[in-house]
Structure 1
């Protein structure tokens, strides 16, 4: 299986396991800058040179050798499951993507037909009941994860623990797992631990949010989207994420983690 979703700087200064919807655009750009002194011109997910990625066949042997030998500092970044799944809905389901089209082509028509989800019309700008549509999206999310119907789960809303675990299961070990909600603090720990060709000043780094502006603006506080049934579904889908990454399931209004990630626990529980 190898190391899907793993990126490494060309200089091999650092290895990163991408977790979608968890500041991955900003992290990728910081890695690129640390090697080249410039940011990648465009979305870092589109870069096919200047960085090693598991998706690039020529990079795979180098990544595998590095990760299995734990030659470089390895890290990942996680996010509150409530805000992550909400962000996936507004970006991927309601939003128009970089190519000017809907995400995954016929996905939205399928959701409209099977789950009654509204997305704000053709361009995502019409008014619609965001809360009702999001709750229906959660049902769809649960169905994809539990039964792989009507399709396989998508990387943007499948559990973070699943992404994080492939790295461990295939012989990798993390030195750091930090929170999107405490981004500068966590990223600084990584930068302090590695040697980079170009110094990175986090205060001057723009936030690269590739999903910003894709979809309609969220109109309500996070907690308004999650009634009892929604929270039951969220627990069913993301129970492990809440437990391992120390997020507050009981209070959707609290996006901050309740404690630090216990790396030994993560490796023990996700390594089997």
Structure 2
């Protein structure tokens, strides 16, 4: 299986397991900058050089050798499951992607037809009942994750613990897992623990939110999207994410963690 979704700086100063919708664009750009003294011109997900990625054949032996021997500092970043799934809905389902098309071609028409979801019209900019459509999207998300119907779960809404676990199961060890909600503190710890060719001043780093502007703006507070049934579905899908990464399941309005991440617990439970 190897180490899917894993990026490594060319200097091998650090190794990062990408978790979609968890500041991955900003982290990738920081890694790129730490090696080259400049940001990648474009979306870092499109970079085919300047950063080792598991998706690049020539990077795989280097990443594998590094991770298996735990040569470099390894980390990842997680996010509140409530805000993450909402972000996925507005970006991937309602939004027009950077290629000018809908995400995954036939996916949105399928959701409109089978689940009665609205997405704000052709351009995603018309008004629609966001809460009703989002709750229907949650049903679809649960169906993909539980039964792999009507398709396999997508990386943007499959559980964070699922992404994080592949790194552990295949022989990797994390030195740090931090929260997007306290991004600067977490990333500062990573940079403090690593030696990079170029110094990174986190205060001057822009946020590379590549999904911003793709879809309609969220019209309501986070908690308005989640009634009792929605919370039940979220718990069914993401119970491990809440437990391991210490987020508050009972209060969707509280995006901040309520405890410290225990790396030993994460390795033990996700390494099974």
Where on the TM-score scale, by shorter chain, does this alignment land: which range? over 0.9
Match of 2:67 in 1: 67
Q: For residue 231 of structure 1, what is the aligned residue in structure 2?
A: 231
For normalisation by structure 1, the TM-score amounts to 1.00
SS in 1 for 2:16: strand
In 1, Cα distance between equivalents of 2:241 and 2:141: 15
Question: Which secondary structure does the structure 2 equivalent of 1:35 belong to?
Answer: helix
Number of the residue aligned with 2:192 = 192
SS of equivalent residue, structure 2 residue 96: coil
For residues 1-272 of structure 1, the aligned pairs below 5 Å read 1-272=1-272
Q: Distance in 1 between matches of 2:259 and 2:230?
A: 24
Q: Take 2:71 and 2:186, find their aligned partners in 1: how far apart are those partners?
A: 21
Give the Cα separation in 2 of the matches to 1:12 and 1:59: 11
CA distance, structure 2, for counterparts of residue 266 and residue 231 of structure 1: 23
Query: How many angstroms apart in 2 are the aligned matches of 1:82 and 1:229?
Result: 14
Structure 1: unaligned runs, 5 residues or longer: none
How many angstroms apart in 2 are the aligned matches of 1:220 and 1:105? 28
- Give a deviation string over 1:112-134, Cα, whole Å, max 9, x none: 00000000000001110000000
- Aligned mates of 1:259, 1:201 — CA distance in 2: 28
Q: Distance in 1 between matches of 2:243 and 2:267?
A: 14
TM-score by length of structure 2 reads 1.00
Number of residue pairs aligned between Structure 1 and Structure 2: 272
The SS at the match of 1:238 is: helix
Q: Deviations over 1:206-234 (max 9, x none)?
A: 00000000000000000000000000000
The offset of 1:264, in angstroms, is 0.1
Runs of 4+, deviation exceeding 4 Å: none
Structure 1 residue 259 displacement after superposition = 1.2
Deviation at 1:260, TM superposition (A): 1.4
Unmatched 5+ stretches in structure 2 = none
1:135-166: CA deviation from partner (whole Å, max 9, x where unpaired): 00000000000000000000000000000000
